[in-house]
Amino acid sequence: MISFFLFPFLIFPQNSINGVVKADGQAVPFVNIYLEETLFGAASDETGTFFINNIPDGIYRIIASTQGYSTSRQRINLQNGSQKQVTITLYPEIETLDETVVSGTLKPVSRLASPVPVEVYAPSFLRKNPTPSIFEALQNINGVRPQINCNVCNTGDIHINGLEGPYTLVLIDGMPIVSGLGSVYGLSGIPNALIEQIEIVKGPASSLYGSEAVGGLINVITKHAPAAPVFVADNFLTGWGEYNLDLGGKLAIGEDTSLLLGLNYFNYDNPIDNNEDNFTDLTLQDRISVFQKWNFARDQGRIFSLAGRFYYEDRWGGEMQWTPEYRGGDEIYGESIYTRRWEVIGKYQLPSPENILLSFSYNDHDQNSVYGDLPYLAQQRIGFGQVTWDKKLGKHDLLFGSALRYTFYDDNTPATSQADETFIPGVFVQDEIEFAPKQTILLGSRLDYDQRHGTIFTPRLAYKYQIGEHAALRLNAGSGFRVVNLFTEEHAALTGARDVVITEDLDPERSFNINLNFLQKIYAKNGMFIGLDASAFYTRFKNLILPDYDSNPNLIFYDNLDGHAISQGLSANVDLAFPFGLKILLGATVLDVKEVENGIEKRPVLTESYTGTWNFSYELRSLDLSIDYTGNLYGPMRLPLLSESDPRKAYSSAWSIQNIQLTHKGINKLELYGGVKNLLNWTPNKGNPFIIARANDPFDSQVARDNAGNVIPTADNPYGLSFDPSYVYGPNQGIRGFMGVRYRIQ
């Protein structure tokens, strides 16, 4: 009987496969290689080589999979004892491999070798929870939180480690064009299909980037045109009626020019009021963004690129019966925002034996908004130019730079009596020294001049100890600054009965930060990957510019904090990948943020005490199906009440947004995906009597006040409140399904 079963294998010769796995021309070790729906498989050795023997005749699909790279699939025909030699090419998925980063030192360097800790996220990370904007996509990054600042218009900013949005500098391709007005609107409309990676630095980076890099920076890096896919399309629709379309592609124009093109279109035009306050739960939007990037081939591989983007958005929120004919009137309340902005970014490496790079950017932002019957009309223009010289001398890796930043801002609010126009020149130097085989120190300093504040000096120190081939310990210390630039699209000023009062000549905000970071990557021989990235951080601020809402309910006072503020805590990310297709990314941050004035400590509003994020991904390889379960958890935060009698919660409960997605990749060049967002159907109105104060009287026509302007409790207004939509800490959008399709020609 045994001989009968062995007979076919003895008569017919068996086939074999041998080959090598490479990425960017280098061998990739410990890759799992197997024939789909069989038990035949192997793992590549330290040289990337693998062997699979004794394979019966047939047509197979050979799969190569490992942490940090996209999965490779190719068909192979084995007949009559064939011995196939194959080369498998993998493409890195940036968030887990030893990525190349530029944000920490303004130089391309591997993440492990960088003396400055940089977190990196690839487009594959964004696809695990598809969103119509980068602003929303950041919700699953540990220590980074998109904060919605208005229940009606849904504008917001990005918090890093509990710090307010103005302390986060947002860059596109290393250029600081997203600030001020752009911090609210500029993170929408960047086509996700054109993003190469997102780099995040937590802690001051003003010694390289100047003003606004006080608490950290986010650098959105777009693809290099020659390396981009020929065409990619991604569109999805949600159960609420949101529609998002991303298109991207490249063109070759002659032998020396490549053009990257992208378009993002988003539309939501379905008013929903699930919390029954007669106000839209989600702002209605119609926006379009067009992007292009030119790359020009030059002698000796010198850099020359030019990119531009145009963005237009029409958004509104308000009472359910609002239509555009009520815009700016006092009959039906609505908040309507027309935004138009265009941006230009360029890089040019000078034709010199030295490595000298000229970088520049310019953006023009025009905003026409009304909040009920109050208009907000603003213009902002930002120009930036920078020259850097990268020079190596022995063990010294030097960087010299000179920068000039121009800012123009004007609006019709009381805080801007005349247009604010500033020029801030700066010079900086950085020296990275390898003073021992496993030890590197980085010294940096920057000098900026603001005619309002004089000279501003920001030093920086970084030390890295390479513990092993895949582990490093880093200590970073530095200072940051932010020049006075009040962004006055402030809802408490525009939609409440509040006036803006600036009590003194404001000084620039300053910060000092120290950060201890440990990074470890373990590549096990069985194909398992373990990554650990842990940090302890401490940031101290002085001259903090804070809005005071508490002293007088009718006023907002702006002044420098007479004391100091502290943000400190612990943060960790754990990255796990198993050879059977399971990947896990866990993150947690514990925060202690406080303001200290006259010996009294106070926790700022809308600052969480802890955060958690997770991402579970599992590939059902036999079905070409992947499952992604993502989510976040936010600890309690102090909320902005109008008075002591305000019945809404003074502190939020812990809350969580969780999502699940299924993706099918079995069709050539096509991906089908769908799932459910906000599985728990959490919204901030749960446990609250209402979210928007006086939603029934948005123009305060029935609010009684005393001679000092304070609201008087009445039978119709027992809590003594005025209309206020700024009590918001999470999205009002509940559970919803979504489905989409991606098409890609590599």
Give pLDDT tens digits for 602-630.
888 888 999 999 999 998 878 889 999 99
Question: What φ, ψ does residue 358 adopt, rounded to 5°?
Answer: -100, 125
β-strand 83-89 against 15-23: which pairing, if any?
parallel
Name the pTM for this structure.
Answer: 0.82
Total structural domains in the chain? 2
Return the closest-CA partner of residue 512 out of 489, 482, 481, 536.
Answer: 481
Q: What pLDDT does residue 11 have?
A: 47
β-strand 439-450 against 454-468: which pairing, if any?
antiparallel
The Cα–Cα gap between 744 and 746 comes to 6
Of the chain, the end-to-end C-alpha distance in Å amounts to 52
In a domain, 642, yes or no: yes
Return the closest-CA partner of residue 413 out of 501, 313, 509, 483.
Answer: 501
Which amino acid is present at 573?
A: N
Q: Quick one: tokens of 58?
A: 């047939």
The answer to whether 329 touches 353, Cβ cutoff 8 Å, is: no
Q: Quick one: tokens of 416?
A: 């801007």
β-strand 582-597 against 600-602: which pairing, if any?
antiparallel
**CA–CA–CA angle 682, 625, 676 (5° rounding):** 15
Return the closest-CA partner of residue 556 out of 633, 493, 602.
Answer: 493
| Summary count for the chain: helices (H), strands (E) | 6, 45
Q: What pLDDT does residue 120 have?
A: 85
pLDDT tens by residue, 512-568: 889 999 999 887 777 788 889 999 999 888 877 766 666 665 666 777 777 888 889
Domain stops at, among 57, 73, 89: 89
Q: Quick one: tokens of 225?
A: 């045109």
Between 629 and 598, where is the model more confident?
629
Q: Quick one: tokens of 703?
A: 């609010």
Q: What is the mean pLDDT of residues 170-188?
A: 68
Full residue range of the structural domain in which residue 412 is found: 225-745
The Cα–Cα gap between 306 and 359 comes to 10
The answer to whether 712 touches 702, Cβ cutoff 8 Å, is: no
- Sequence-distant (6+) residues with CB within 8 A of 436 are none
In a domain, 166, yes or no: no
Q: Rounded to an integer, what is the distance from CA 103 to the centroid of its chain? A: 14
In a domain, 106, yes or no: no
The answer to whether 205 touches 188, Cβ cutoff 8 Å, is: no
How many other C-beta atoms lie within 10 A of the C-beta of residue 109? 19
Question: What φ, ψ does residue 670 adopt, rounded to 5°?
Answer: -125, 140
Q: What pLDDT does residue 479 have?
A: 85
pLDDT tens by residue, 368-383: 999 899 898 889 898 9
Q: Mean pLDDT lowest for which of 107-111, 646-650, 720-724?
A: 107-111
Q: Mean pLDDT lowest for which of 188-202, 272-286, 526-540, 564-578?
A: 188-202
In a domain, 734, yes or no: yes
The Cα–Cα gap between 376 and 640 comes to 23
The Cα–Cα gap between 258 and 222 comes to 14
Q: What is the mean pLDDT of residues 623-650?
A: 92
Q: Quick one: tokens of 230?
A: 């020929």
Q: Quick one: tokens of 102?
A: 């530029």
Which amino acid is present at 12?
A: F
The answer to whether 391 touches 407, Cβ cutoff 8 Å, is: no
The answer to whether 238 touches 282, Cβ cutoff 8 Å, is: no
- Sequence-distant (6+) residues with CB within 8 A of 677 are 129, 238, 657, 659, 735, 736, 737, 738
Strand order in the sheet with 72-78: 41-43, 32-35, 58-65, 72-78
Beta strands in 506-562 (DSSP E): 509-523, 529-542, 545-548, 555-560
Q: Quick one: tokens of 117?
A: 């800790």
Question: What φ, ψ does residue 207 adopt, rounded to 5°?
Answer: -65, -20
The Cα–Cα gap between 255 and 245 comes to 31
In a domain, 128, yes or no: no
Whether the per-residue pLDDT at 665 is higher than 80: the answer is yes
Q: What pLDDT does residue 374 have?
A: 87
Q: Quick one: tokens of 554?
A: 């009718």
Return the closest-CA partner of residue 25 out of 87, 97, 85.
Answer: 87
How many other C-beta atoms lie within 10 A of the C-beta of residue 741? 16
Return the closest-CA partner of residue 424 out of 399, 396, 458.
Answer: 458
Q: How far is CA 716 from CA 33, 147, 719, in A?
A: 72, 32, 9
The Cα–Cα gap between 24 and 14 comes to 33
Residue 598 pLDDT grade (very low, low, confident, very high; cuts 50, 70, 90): confident
Whether the per-residue pLDDT at 348 is higher than 70: the answer is yes
**CA–CA–CA angle 693, 694, 696 (5° rounding):** 135
Whether the per-residue pLDDT at 195 is higher than 70: the answer is yes
The Cα–Cα gap between 49 and 575 comes to 26
User: Residue 26's domain is classified under what CATH number?
Assistant: 2.60.40.10
In a domain, 549, yes or no: yes
Whether the per-residue pLDDT at 92 is higher than 60: the answer is no
The Cα–Cα gap between 388 and 368 comes to 37
Q: What pLDDT does residue 554 have?
A: 61
Strand partners, 565: 541, 595
Beta strands in 24-125 (DSSP E): 26-27, 32-35, 41-43, 49-55, 58-65, 72-78, 83-89, 100-101, 109-110, 119-121
Chain mean pLDDT for the chain: 84
In a domain, 465, yes or no: yes
In a domain, 181, yes or no: no
Q: What pLDDT does residue 592 have?
A: 93
The Cα–Cα gap between 702 and 102 comes to 56
Q: Quick one: tokens of 272?
A: 């929903």
User: Residue 379's domain is classified under what CATH number?
Assistant: 2.40.170.20
Return the closest-CA partner of residue 201 out of 141, 120, 81.
Answer: 120
Domain stops at, among 71, 89, 107: 89
Residue whose token pair is 């030059």:
298
Domain stops at, among 89, 114, 131: 89
